[in-house]
Amino acid sequence: SGSLTTHVLNTATGLPAAGLAVHLARLQEPGTRWTELAQRWTDEDGRCLPLLAPGQAKAGTYKLHFDTAAYWQGLGHTSFYPFVEVVFTITDPSKKLHIPLLISPFSYTTYRGS
């Protein structure tokens, strides 16, 4: 059954982004209130434990919040983006969902991975 994973790559160095905080929240519909479901930190490979374990996913709107400012400060840099939020919809909770994030101090990119 489905799960949700992510990983973060520092494209300025070409290395995984270790020690970056990641929060997962679900939109309470109808409305605009978000409920936090999980918080993780990336490991030395830029990955963390699944944010939704197999069987935990439900159809709905979610967001991943990446604390990029603290990560860049820890490396002695400033960044233009204090955080990155990726909002997405789970339509089929039985599918595995992987959302990578590529970051530099002045840009970011994300995509639906496999």
Question: What residue numbers does the annotated binding site for substrate cover?
Answer: 7, 47, 111
Task: Look up residue 55 and give its DSSP letter.
Answer: T
Helix (H, G, I), strand (E, B) or coil at 72: helix
Residues in the chain: 114
- The token pair at 87 is 């909002």
Residue numbers belonging to the annotated binding site? 7, 47, 111
Sheet with 107-110: strands ordered across: 15-16, 4-10, 97-104, 107-110
